[in-house]
Amino acid sequence: MGTSGTLADALDAGPVLLDGGLSNQLEAQGCDLSDALWSARLLADAPEQIEAAHLAYLRAGARVLITASYQATFEGFGRYGLDRAGTEALLARSVELARGAADAARRADPGRETWVAASVGPYGAMLADGSEYRGRYGLSVRELEHFHRPRVAALAAAGPDALALETVPDLEEAEALVRVAEETGVPYWLSYSVAGGRTRAGQPLEEAFAVAAGRDSVLAVGVNCCDPEEAQGAVEQAVAVTGRPAVVYPNSGEGWDAGARGWTGRGTFDPGRVRAWTRAGARLVGGCCRVGPDLITELDGRLGSQVPPPGLSPGLSSGPSRSSPRPGAG
């Protein structure tokens, strides 16, 4: 563990700030993320850039760092000639880099508590064809378990404080991810990518969030990589269905033009909304695509004076105490 207190303990005390989009910070540092491995390629080619990006978010006020493993899979690295041992080493490195940044921040500020969450992206992220925003891959829950189990086990073995099961497009993949995560004993959160009040695959959110209800190791349930307008309703539903804290880290609100391969429109991410999110039960709050350190600093300022509203915290249980030219998590 990265600190004397667990992340579950911190969530019981009040909201905790996540980082923002790792990919956009890496691009701001001059990194090219245009190939199929996306930010995961830098685990091998430029690990110092990843650690620098983590440090940028810690300086902005983040207390939880999400690793650069969203698109890191045995199958994806295998296409580039990396064997199983090499992939396991890079998955472990993703945790080590975040931990190194957190340790550096703690040396500068000994009273600072920070945690590391190992990113576990959906099956579609490995395909690198946008199907992570559609789901419905034609695979069974058992087949999805088989895909996710080795890398979840490798990430868990590296010693993160939590697993971030993120940008999940449908409840069938969520079922597979939750089963695999429960096997590790590592606390985790489950976070869907949503549109129109449903999963990307079109399922009602009540059914999707119910996948995590009653699970032993779940810390929080919610949404990420979505329009900020989707956040409030999703947080309310997640808390109502599961009785657990919510996690919420939406995108900037800009749109992605796949044909032009660029972002369009105006960002609508408003840090002022965080008060409503936390009143509804959000305890892990941050940003995803195109939400950079400046916005995380604004969120930090908004969260600094907040405490759990009377009557809310006792109803929530946080479980056991123990980046890019295209959209995606991290």
What are the pLDDT digits (tens) for 189-216? 999 999 999 999 999 999 999 999 999 9
Q: Tell me how far CA of residue 197 lies from CA of 64, 236, 253, 293, 300, in angstroms.
A: 27, 12, 15, 28, 27
Domains of the chain in start order, with CATH, are 7-305 (3.20.20.330)
Query: Dihedrals φ, ψ of 244, to 5°?
Result: -105, 165
Whether the CB-CB separation of 141 and 107 falls below 8 Å is answered with: no
- Residues whose CB is less than 8 angstroms from the CB of residue 183 and which lie 6 or more positions away in sequence, other chains included: 149, 152, 153
Provide Rg for the chain, Cα atoms: 18
Q: Using one digit for the tens of pLDDT, what is the confidence trace for 5-22?
A: 999 999 999 999 999 999
The whole-number pLDDT of residue 69 equals 97
Angle at the Cα of 147 (from 146 to 152), degrees rounded to 5? 95
pLDDT in the model for residue 58: 98
Render pLDDT for 40-76 as a digit per residue (tens, 0 to 9).
999 999 999 999 999 999 999 999 999 999 999 999 9
Per 3-state DSSP, the chain is made up of helix, strand and coil in percentages (nearest 5) of 45, 15, 40
Residue 315 in this model has a pLDDT that exceeds 70: no
Grade residue 312 by pLDDT with cuts at 50, 70 and 90: very low
Whole-number Å distance between alpha carbons of 222 and 249: 9
pLDDT of residue 234: 98
Residue 318 has pLDDT above 80, yes or no: no
**Rounded CA separation 164/188 (Å):** 6
Q: pTM here?
A: 0.91
Residue 34: predicted pLDDT: 86
